Chains A and B, each alone.
Chain A
Amino acid sequence: MKKLINDPRSVVDESVEGFGMAHADLVDVRTDPIFVLRKGAPVAGKVALVSGGGSGHEPLHAGFVGHGMLDAAVPGAVFTSPTPDQIIPATAAVDSGSGVIHIVKNYTGDVLNFETAAEMAQAEGISVRSVLVNDDVAVEDSLYTAGRRGVGGTVLVEKIAGAAAERGDSLEAVAGVAEGVVRNVRTMGVALSGCTVPHAGVPSFELAEDEIEIGIGIHGEPGRHRIAMEGADAITSRLLDPVLEDLGIKAGEEVLLFVNGMGGTPLSELYIVYRRAAQILGERGARVARSLVGNYVTSLEMQGCSISVLRLDDELTALWDAPVHTPALRWGM
């Protein structure tokens, strides 16, 4: 294992400390327990958005704290959900009295810890509404699994719900917008390599030179099946076809196409995937009205990508276009 770290046990603390120093104009970092706040939080009269999850997915979630997106991000240990003793004070710190939305990726640990924290925050008099993101079509049978995972689509939920909160929507209205995004976004990912959790020291899984793993999640866990390496166009079809089928995208519809890197794949390759994905959507008569390409929901240094498609309407498009200013996403201001 070769990593730019000092001690596996201090990876999250030191990384978040550096993040806070680099983006001191946008965020405040609290330590013991550790969480990241939007500068100036709580914002008077605004519904607050809190998200969190295991570290190792950067820029998710702390990179999306700022105007028009999250009010707080709660990082856990690498690939481990944060704990209620972090989530509760983060929730309290951003609540202006208008209520707090927890955006939770559907992983057992995240769900259990946010559930516990929401109960306890509510007992302290804070209105908390939880929104579960479960956009991963790779998990096929939810009766025999922990259910579909929350993956790349989380960024789109955080951006669009953040814009709704920023324009002054109520707690229920912001939750409704977030759930609308969840209903209309689907994602599927591929890994070309595993990744190494610092405290484990060895890769989470090994792939041979000619193998890829289809349907990976974002916690270094393997996916549904392993196949022989193919060209980018063929892999793009494998990811995008089930996404479009699950969403039921029809000719004439407008979509947002999001090609997300897992951390170890160069942007140039992500654009090769984007190119084919946009062609496929065009062949089906759908119009790619908005796009996002880059490393936004990563799995440490894993090579690979995920493709997300969000079905747009005028409301979602307007909220997507609304100004945002965070360390990892910025436009319009």
Chain B
Amino acid sequence: MGLGVEWAVQWLTLSARRMSEHREELIALDRAIGDSDHGENMDRGFQAVMEKLAQTPPETPGAALKLAAMALMSKVGGAAGPLYGTAYLRAATALGESADIDAAALAAALTAARDGIVARGKAELGDKTMVDAWSPAVEAADEVLVAGGDALAVLAAAAEAAEVGAVTTDPLVARKGRASYLGERSAGHRDPGAVSTALLLRAAATAAGFPEESAE
């Protein structure tokens, strides 16, 4: 048994809750090396996702992610809007019209999402961007898939790797996005886009039934 549309809707619902809960934290991280808007924009974007979900309930996981992509692209703004919009759109395309998502389809969707972000934003691993959370997540998902893990295990591994990836941005000097203007002074701060990525992937695992962290 893979994951169905209930999981996708639950994932997006949980994502909206996490963006709202972590709004201030993301704003504070962005204030240090950016322009103080990431938490505000992500919160606004996922509120728009929730409105669209209520208006037109999706029938497949792919349709749910496509709906989220359009809402994020039109409501978030900044760099995060087009980047997350592209990620969800590519993932939706990868999932196609399938109603039941297995581990392989999930890993492929994560890869497509990451590739979409890289194609739009032109950032590489180590540039201190959300790619530093996405890439380790994709690698961890692939490893679990090869080892025979199920969809839940793929999501749990991706979430954990993204969280570790976000922490690894601390010492990095930003080479893309607004933090890059700071040069060396961007080191010593965590990238807000990598943190929001980790929160969203953790929400995906939680929505699939992975036990929540006690630190919640």
Q: Do these two chains interact?
A: yes
| Chain A interface residues toward B at CB < 8 A | 54, 76-85, 107-109, 112-113, 115-116, 138-139, 144-146, 149, 197, 199-200, 202, 204-205, 217, 219-224
**Cβ-defined contact, A116 with B82, below 8 A:** yes
CB distance from A300 to the nearest CB of B (A): 11
CB distance from A204 to the nearest CB of B (A): 6
What separation, in Å, do the CA atoms of A135 and B145 have in the docked complex? 48
**Cβ-defined contact, B77 with A144, below 8 A:** no
Taking CB as reference atom, which chain B residue is nearest A224?
Answer: B183
What separation, in Å, do the CA atoms of A113 and B82 have in the docked complex? 6
Segment with Cβ contacts to A, from B34-42, B104-112, B160-168: B34-42
**Cβ-defined contact, B35 with A219, below 8 A:** yes
What separation, in Å, do the CA atoms of A113 and B83 have in the docked complex? 10
**Cβ-defined contact, A76 with B77, below 8 A:** yes
**Cβ-defined contact, B77 with A109, below 8 A:** yes
| Chain B interface residues toward A at CB < 8 A | 27, 31, 34-37, 40-41, 44, 73-83, 85, 120-121, 173, 175-178, 180-183, 185
CB distance from A89 to the nearest CB of B (A): 11
Taking CB as reference atom, which chain A residue is nearest B76?
Answer: A83
Question: Per a CB cutoff under 8 Å, which of B36, B74, B76, B121 touches A108?
Answer: B121
What separation, in Å, do the CA atoms of A65 and B85 have in the docked complex? 30
What separation, in Å, do the CA atoms of A258 and B28 have in the docked complex? 34
**Cβ-defined contact, B41 with A146, below 8 A:** no
* With known contacts A83-B75, A85-B74, A145-B180, A221–B82 Cβ distance under 8 A: no
Taking CB as reference atom, which chain A residue is nearest B30?
Answer: A200
B interface majority secondary structure: helix
**Cβ-defined contact, A200 with B31, below 8 A:** yes
CB distance from B36 to the nearest CB of A (A): 4
**Cβ-defined contact, B31 with A144, below 8 A:** no
CB distance from A200 to the nearest CB of B (A): 4
What separation, in Å, do the CA atoms of A81 and B31 have in the docked complex? 16
Could you give 30 example pairs across A and B, Cβ below 8 Å? A54-B77, A76-B78, A77-B37, A77-B41, A77-B77, A80-B40, A80-B77, A83-B81, A84-B73, A108-B79, A108-B177, A109-B78, A109-B79, A112-B82, A112-B83, A113-B82, A144-B175, A145-B175, A146-B180, A197-B37, A199-B36, A199-B40, A200-B37, A204-B31, A204-B36, A205-B31, A217-B178, A221-B35, A224-B181, A224-B182
User: Cβ of A197: which chain B residues have Cβ within 8 Å of it?
Assistant: 35-37
**Cβ-defined contact, A144 with B180, below 8 A:** yes
* With known contacts A112-B121, A197-B37, A222-B185, A202–B78 Cβ distance under 8 A: no
User: Cβ of B120: which chain A residues have Cβ within 8 Å of it?
Assistant: 112
Question: Per a CB cutoff under 8 Å, which of A80, A113, A217, A223 touches B37?
Answer: A80
* With known contacts A222-B185, A223-B181, A81–B77 Cβ distance under 8 A: yes
